[in-house]
Amino acid sequence: MSVRIREKRGKLYLDIHVNGRRFWETLGLSLSTDKQQRKEILRLAEICRSKRESQIVSGEWGLIDPVSGKQSLIGYMTAIGKGREKKDHVNRVLKYLDTYQGGNIALGQVTEKWLEDFQGYLIKESGLSKGTAGRYEAAVRFALRKAARDRLIPRNPSQGVKAITIPESDLVFLSFQEIQLLANTPLGGILGAEVKRAFLFACFTGLRISDLKTLTWGDINRDPLQINKRQEKTERKIFVPLHPVAWDIINDGAIHNYKELVFPELSQSKTDTVSNYLVPWAKKAGIEKQIGWHTARRTFAVLSLESGAEIYTVSKLLGHTNLKTTQVYAKATDKMKREAVDALPSIEIRQERK
């Protein structure tokens, strides 16, 4: 393994040989004709070369990277959050990290005490609910686990700190009767009409909004009638048989190109924009529940379970990677609880007279 400084057309690069591979990395430095400036630039280049060599050696021998551990926690999490949605908890917690103690703590300086104090700030001073505070703290824990795994810090400090307990929230889902009410309630406009179709379709397929937006006619298999699609969130392939109602919702009798989107208006609109249609539509139908796009996915899961589907089968239909994720929906259904109690055998109780 070697890391050397090279010059090409006045610009400086690192010539790196490692594990039989050779590649160049630019230093972003250019040599000057001034002798003193040239000496200073070469000195900076040598510092960069030394740090890069240290990083490579750390990675090869499973050692702690002495450079990356000095970056700020907020900077590290900002890098992790790139490519994620703005509403992802990794991105949303950045505001609170920045507010807490100026947000200038280095990744390698995070201790159990710091994390406990940050928990207290989230719960008592930030104005967040305990559930939201717990989810934001979980994002920080995720980053610390990743940093320890990638050998940026010697250990994960969150392992010695009890996580904020997140209260179990009520899962909002719809009954068949409520789905029928929505089906009977018009939603005006071209986009509104497509929002209605897509939401009802999701109630019978369990698709996320991201998958509804990218669903093409090529994802619809006609024989047997089912959806064959790779999920946007997990990249896992799912196979969902189409209920006759779901097919009726999208079947317009036309012949479509396999690349054509099933819900083109939905795909061209921001998620926040199409979400704004849902609650007013529900209220118009006489439903007071605060529904969102994920409500349709929950509805599919709960109603499938109540209709007798095994939890493992429902997990596969939803594309869950962990059965525990699907078990949350089983907790939500009162019908299954009632059926479980009603299935208990009866015995005759003789009342004793005093």
Task: Please state the domain extents for the chain.
Answer: 2-61, 68-160, 176-340
Question: What's the pLDDT at 168?
Answer: 64
Question: What's the pLDDT at 61?
Answer: 44
- Fold of the CATH domain 176-340: hpI Integrase; Chain A (1.10.443)
Alpha helices in the chain (DSSP H): 35-61, 73-81, 89-92, 94-99, 112-120, 130-149, 176-183, 190-203, 209-214, 244-250, 264-267, 271-275, 278-284, 293-306, 311-318, 323-332, 334-342
* Average pLDDT of adjacent 10-residue blocks, the chain of 354 residues: 86 82 82 87 88 66 53 90 84 91 80 92 90 92 89 85 79 91 94 95 94 94 91 87 94 91 91 89 94 92 88 89 80 65 68 65
Question: What's the pLDDT at 198?
Answer: 96
CATH assignment of 68-160, among 1.10.150.130, 3.40.190.10, 3.10.180.10, 1.10.286.10: 1.10.150.130
Residue type, 286: G
Dihedral angle over CA of 208, 209, 214, 220, nearest 10: 50
CA–CA distances in Å: residue 14 to residues 23, 28, 211: 8, 10, 43
CA–CA distances in Å: residue 27 to residues 6, 9, 13, 24, 44: 10, 13, 5, 10, 10
Question: What's the pLDDT at 62?
Answer: 47
What does the alpha-carbon distance between residue 22 and residue 1 come to, in Å, rounded to a whole number? 10
